[in-house]
Chains A and B, each alone.
Chain A
């Protein structure tokens, strides 16, 4: 509920009031003694940046570069990146070898495609980097006012700033570098800072300059100002800073409180003056920016294996060839007799020398490796990259994933993982802000034992169904729609959904316990850390709160007549109704202490002094900690309140207990002294010291009542979860909330239902509680672990007993138990249990546990995991999962920054996975398979031809035919396949979610399918080669009596290959737009065009291909007849295979295609039949709930 930022702010509030010298001195001793030592060597001369001493320090300038390359390093660095890939390196090596006499082809023909491919990738890199450069320039050229030295300030560009400059930053501007705050428009040198770009927190933080510099509030004050700062070296720690400032001979300590970080923003403050101490890459924010962890998809990892397999094949073929070559070469010249004399084996160079045949064979091996390099698709990587970039553009452009309200489209931050989206097996979801809106609505309260608030929560509605009302779900949903509309009509105030005429509109004064109600809402208006912001034009007040529930409280107080409108360092002003006079009056409360919230205390309190001088301790907190702190006479309404709180929790609401007590002067004085000492101590047990002190004062409280805040489910969440469940995806919820809330949300979104058996693992047993009191940590740990283990084993036994049918089980585990369940020795048993359950909910889990659970799922069952979350506490989980999806919601940008894909609403996950994920998976996997197919088809004909040349490595085709195959004649169609192909349209993807299982079970990229495609390649090559060879034997091939030479056989075979691979693609895809038609047919046309034009070039360029097409191939009818025949014959086996499969063994997408084709998709009954017949029983989601209900009805009917 309260982030780290508040802590700092509160400490400042403290400082301003206390101003104790002891604290400052203590600090000096602890941290500042290190100044000047190693790691603390920075020296800054404020306001004299040109001093020779400053120059000699040689600190970096304020130019920030986020580009990967500079003009000078681009070439070497990006080349290095390229050749780190094993396939590219291989092509580089063959390219270099091509310059030696070993090469079977000319060097240029080997190098050009490599240059083309590398060039394309480098251009892509270059463009990306250039975009970053443009962004950099935009930032670096921003203007800021800098002191000129004579008491006046000039606008200068950010990049020209140097260490020691005095800058003036105005309202809503970003800080250009890390600054030491000197003074601000406020007298006490405070300023408000928004750090959203740094830590994602939207709340404002207060910073305060040193007392000694706070008077420098005019520009001319800086004439002659001189200060000398010593501080730590640049580092990445955002939450610590140590330094000293020497001013007029005195030393003052500098802490984080004086440090303004680059890229945070000045808010609510007209201007500040600051001295630059870290610039450019030394600033904390830049030091902090790391590259996101690079993730690779499963498909890509598998692709590497395929490439190794291809290497293996190449080596094998080359080896076989070399042995045969060696033997025939040795036989050519024996005992002075030449066999194949026309090769002159008697005077041969080493490569063909019969006398040194083994050496020749080794050289030949290298040559063969080069020749067979066409097995490995040179353009694969670059094509995949192009395809993925285009795919992510489609994701970004999807209008159905655009969130109107926040103006946020989906954003694929990395395109590496597109296809992984189609294979997700388990979704690990955060709750708050992900499943729910994280906009809290004050909906109910219980004051003085009376429950107020008539709103109905979504959970309550869901519960209505759960409790077995006769309602069919459908009508239920309508109800929900209806009530939602009703709500939006009435309520106009965000965060407030409270309706009760008894206390609204000032009616509360007539209630029996009006005084308690007054105290209740006054507490809500005073006990918080919210900062009000008054809109100057409309006079309306908005609130800056660090957590939405705090804002909800303040808003609720305002709506009910207790308007909090101003906060200073020490006071809170509230407009409220005076019970006696019945008029609205402004009341001022002096804030004396703020006892902040943290997860162990589970409460927060303030000590205030009202206008009458009465000292009050106002406190709010979780029920279990608050009830035990009530005084004997403060328990008047305890019973009722407890009932209400339980009711609220059951309705999925967050509850807090409100209580107060009055303090007398003496007691407060003692407390205040103690807390100041505790707060200013710097030792490690500071926290526990503070806790000890607060423990003593937060007791004997008088109960006022309880609040209930609804954390609303996001739009469409139950629907989306249902679809995902139908798609066979498991959904785990990992939340920091307490168990009851988590379970309720589980019910609301149909992850849990009544007939499910809940296996709850926790450590809330009496024996453990009693053990905890003794405080022996080892014993507790041991007993707890045993306890957890036995619960897990117990759960597994239950699972087993039910016969492995996982329908009815839900696992709910809390954070404490999870800590033990994640221990190395039992985590696998835990995982087995969890996998066996339909729903898994981990509550009270810390960010670290979230990440650990994610890792466990990921590594434990080897399936793809997707983590989705919105807050900084989800970052670990997002980075750990195979795919991290960030919700760009209210909790800032931290999650988005570390995510792979950002979406605005949970419900878009459905489209992201079921449509884009499925398509991308299908596209990429088909594309890779096809790539290897086409290269095997081509490469293997080369090998087959070798068998007719005694493996002398004569290529069957002209050099340029060889090298341009991958680049021109077969590249575009496969890219079009990767970008545009769809098996079924988006509508059907969503209608038949089970289609998604094709990705989860990886049926489209299984080894069977990969090898199937490879086999297709091999037999295509065999058919093409032998049919061409047999047709073009020694006889004349045209009317003119000419016999075919190498160029004619090669040209014919090549033509067949171009036709076959392109038509094969046409057969394999199921979606022909104009684009597909253009790229497929043009690839074939381009081949004819190329061979014609190339043949027309002077013979010294075109060599063997000179006029071959025009003069020999085209006029010869047999060329055309052979092409037609070979192409049809080669494609026939695949055609038969797919016809049989489509008709008799259709895959799921095939069935859907049939449905669409037969036009019966609009007949709901028919559709349903297909869906039902091929559906897997789903275990969660409302469909499952409906099914379960049907079942129970069926069972109960015969009984009655």
Chain B
């Protein structure tokens, strides 16, 4: 910032001379801008404004909270944790060995519907203590390769799931490799409940991120096998399970959409689930849950937002009242100097 100062004395004289020759006045031009007198609103927090602000917030928030809470309460959600139950008693002391073994891992579960669930009923699997947001995991994919077949050799960020025998793996990387492979089949009253797996992923993913002419290649051919295998004849854009899985979750507890049941479920229905318990969450103590849920306009069941709105709204109303009381009980002392720091520091007479 040693800007104009550096110009030597030499130049100072010269320019002054030039200016004098022109005999132009150096008087600054008046404008409200340069004189810092622009019209401005100068709000201060008067009691009226403070109380009004709290009042308005309270009045807006409480109804919003009620609405949110209603929406959340209107959602029917059935959660069934099966990770332990689906392991035979004999194997429970070493669940990892069981899950890595080759025996049949079918498992039957029964779910009772308590309230009527209007279609579509969303089927989720929920994993806990699963770090899909780990940096190594998140980065272990190659978007270009998923998009177009001509980039299938582009596997540089996918190690160690990049190539097998020198041939590129499509889709490569840890994310794809660890694809969730438990399966659920639902029957109600001995009738199969079809699960619709179309449209469970984001449209933009199907259309732009996963190519219509990119087919799985060399997938799950190596050891160890991570998760689900893919049908090499179906293009990636139609492998919606994969697409859903590859949108990595933000937090270690997450749900992913498995499919939709397009019929209503009545209260009292018992639904039998034939479950293939393949996915290993036992080594890191992760829970697995099957979730059936409807949605409201707000999404799934979560009372938090409604309660939070209600709480903050009530606090606002409370503050509005207490500020009013404060102002009435102890009117502001105009220009009370006793709070000024130079009056507060005792003695003051510096």
- Residues of chain A having any CB pair with chain B under 8 Å: 64, 66, 68, 104, 128, 132, 135-136, 138-139, 142, 174, 196-198, 262-263, 265, 285-286, 288-289, 291-292, 294, 337-344, 347-349, 351-352, 385, 388-389, 393-394, 396-400, 402, 404, 407-409, 413-416, 728, 804-806, 893, 897, 919, 948-950, 952-954, 980, 982, 985-986, 997, 1001, 1003, 1027, 1029-1050, 1070-1076, 1098-1100, 1103, 1106-1107, 1111-1112, 1116-1118, 1121-1122, 1124-1125, 1128-1129, 1132, 1135-1136, 1138-1139, 1142-1148, 1150-1151, 1153-1157, 1169-1170, 1173-1174, 1176-1177
Contact = CB atoms under 8 A, between A and B. Distances in A.
A699 to B, nearest CB: 44
A835 B29 CA distance: 42
B253 A1176 contact: no
B349 A1177 contact: yes
Contacts of B208: 1098-1099, 1106-1107
A1073 B38 contact: yes
B40 to A, nearest CB: 4
Given A104-B135, A344-B160, A1148-B340, A1033 B28 contact: no
A952 B134 contact: yes
B293 A1036 contact: yes
B11 A1050 contact: no
A940 to B, nearest CB: 17
24 contacts: A138-B18, A289-B10, A343-B174, A388-B1, A398-B35, A400-B35, A409-B27, A414-B1, A414-B2, A893-B12, A950-B134, A1031-B308, A1033-B253, A1036-B295, A1038-B299, A1043-B255, A1046-B250, A1099-B204, A1118-B298, A1122-B305, A1125-B61, A1125-B309, A1139-B323, A1147-B340
B278 interface: no
Given A1148-B340, A1154-B335, A1049 B143 contact: no
A66 B257 contact: no
B341 interface: yes
Contacts of B315: 1132
A197 B254 contact: no
A1136 B200 CA distance: 45
Given A128-B4, A954-B138, A1176-B348, 13 more contacts: A340-B131, A399-B34, A407-B25, A952-B133, A952-B134, A1027-B308, A1035-B299, A1035-B301, A1039-B297, A1043-B257, A1139-B45, A1146-B336, A1173-B335
7 pairs of A and B residues whose beta carbons are closest in the complex: A1035-B300, A289-B8, A197-B13, A1174-B337, A1036-B300, A1170-B335, A342-B178
B281 to A, nearest CB: 10
A292 B11 contact: no
B311 to A, nearest CB: 9
B232 to A, nearest CB: 22
Interface stretch (B85-93, B108-116, B119-127, B265-273): B119-127
A397 B33 CA distance: 10
Contact of A135 (B11, B138, B202): B11
Nearest to A1170: B335
A1157 B1 CA distance: 39
Interface size class of B (residues with CB under 8 A): 35 or more
Interface string B182-208: 000000000000000000101110001
Contacts of A1118: 298-299, 305
Contacts of A285: 8-10
Most buried by A among B35, B134, B295: B134
Contact of B137 (A342, A1132, A1136): A342
Nearest to B32: A1073
A138 B12 CA distance: 12
Given A1043-B256, A1045-B249, A1106-B209, A286 B8 contact: yes
Given A285-B8, A1100-B143, A348 B28 contact: no
A718 to B, nearest CB: 24
Contact of A1049 (B1, B251, B337): B251
A1139 B120 CA distance: 49
B47 interface: yes
Interface of B: 1-15, 17-18, 25-30, 34-47, 50, 53, 57, 61, 64, 68, 77, 96, 120, 122, 124, 126, 130-131, 133-138, 143-144, 147, 159-161, 174, 177-178, 200, 202-204, 208-209, 224, 226, 247-257, 260, 280, 283-284, 293, 295-302, 304-305, 308-309, 312, 315-316, 319, 323, 326-327, 330, 332, 334-337, 339-343, 348-349
Contacts of A402: 26-28
A397 B2 contact: no
Contact of B7 (A66, A1031, A1076, A1155): A66
Contacts of B254: 1034, 1043
B319 A1136 contact: yes
A1041 B283 contact: no
B135 A288 contact: no
A1039 B299 contact: yes
A1154 B327 contact: no
A1029 B251 contact: yes
B253 A1034 contact: yes
Nearest to A194: B13
Given A1027-B308, A1129-B312, A1153-B42, A399 B12 contact: no
Contacts of A953: 135
A1154 B297 contact: no
